[in-house]
Amino acid sequence: HTRCSRDWSSDVCSSDLAMHDVPVLHFDNGEMSKEEVIMRQCAALSHVPMHLLETGNWRKAGEDVVERVRSTWKKIKNLKFYYYNVGGMTTDQMINNLKRFYYSRVGRGNQMIFSFDYIKPSADADAGKPEWQVIGEMLNKFKKTIQRDIVQDQKPMISMFTSIQSNRSGITTNRNSDAVNDDEGIVSMSDRITHYCSHMAILRHKLADEVQQEGSGFGTHKLIFVKSRFLGSDPAGALNLVQMPEGGLKKIGRAHV
């Protein structure tokens, strides 16, 4: 679900920025304007529904809502969140803009989050290459830039955060949880996406049987990690199968959001 994952990735980057004051450079593929991104930031940080912000009815929704929106706008104005429309650019053009921004606005040796709207073929696809190859070469160039070119004391200074659509095997409509593929096989376009990433998670709506089984107190979505290079202090908790009450074993390395 592209919109779901894109909103979540923007929320994560904005939250990290608000908590740690790490600047965020957001590359958009030309599908969302700067104003739309700001509106979603305001909704996420203020916990005020989007429809109230889009229609302007937040002003009539009570003193609490008005105060939350106004206080959040002040925070957003001071956030180091930078929007850049890269629609129609080649991968090399995007990387040149990334490097130029980092050295001119962030500064050598300082940390930054690079938020890439979502993975889709760049203008390089016009060269007649197959889609999977264009995607693979694009991610390879981004990874080399981050891990080899923009480093300090041989350590990367930039974290890249992005999202990708699922393929048909990831469709959840009219299915129960036992019939859903919650693994890296649902990643669309190129197998190189899984190869190049350090961490990968599936974000999807909970299915009807999951809501019924877990109750309403455990969120509306599943965040299911399918690849992790670092598993923290309890790797067994993320990898081992769990004995279920109704019988059988199941992998439960997931979060409720």
Sign of the CA dihedral with 56 first, then 31, 166, and 27 last:
negative
* Amino acid occupying residue 128: G
The predicted pLDDT at position 5 comes to 45
Would you give per-residue pLDDT tens digits along the chain (257 residues)? 334 444 556 667 766 666 777 899 999 887 788 888 888 888 888 889 999 998 999 999 999 999 999 999 888 888 888 999 998 899 999 999 999 999 999 999 999 999 998 888 877 776 678 888 889 999 999 999 999 999 999 999 999 999 888 888 888 888 888 888 888 888 888 888 888 888 888 888 889 888 888 887 888 888 888 888 877 777 777 677 777 677 777 666 554 44
Distance CA 132, CA 123 (A): 14
Token code pair at residue 231 = 């598993």
Distances (CA, A) of 161 to 139, 168, 220: 12, 23, 22
Q: In 3D, which of 107, 127, 131 has the Cα closest to residue 119? A: 131
| 3-class SS string, the chain | CHHHHHHHHHHHHHHHHHHHCCCEEEEECCCCCHHHHHHHHHHHHHCCCHHHHHHCHHHHCCHHHHHHHHHHHHHHHHCCEEEEECCCCCHHHHHHHHHHHHHHHHCCCCCEEEEECCCCCCHHHHHCCCHHHHHHHHHHHHHHHHHHHCEECCEECEEEEECCCECHHHCCCCCCHHHCCCCHHHECCCCHHHHHCCEEEEEEECCHHHHHHHCHHHCCEEEEEEEECCCCCCHHHHHCEEECCCCCEEECCEEEC
pTM above 0.85, yes or no: no
Residues with Cβ within 8 Å of residue 209, at least 6 apart in sequence: 176, 177
* Amino acid occupying residue 61: A
- Per DSSP bridges, beta strands 24-28 and 81-85 are parallel
The predicted pLDDT at position 101 comes to 96
- Per DSSP bridges, beta strands 112-116 and 24-28 are parallel
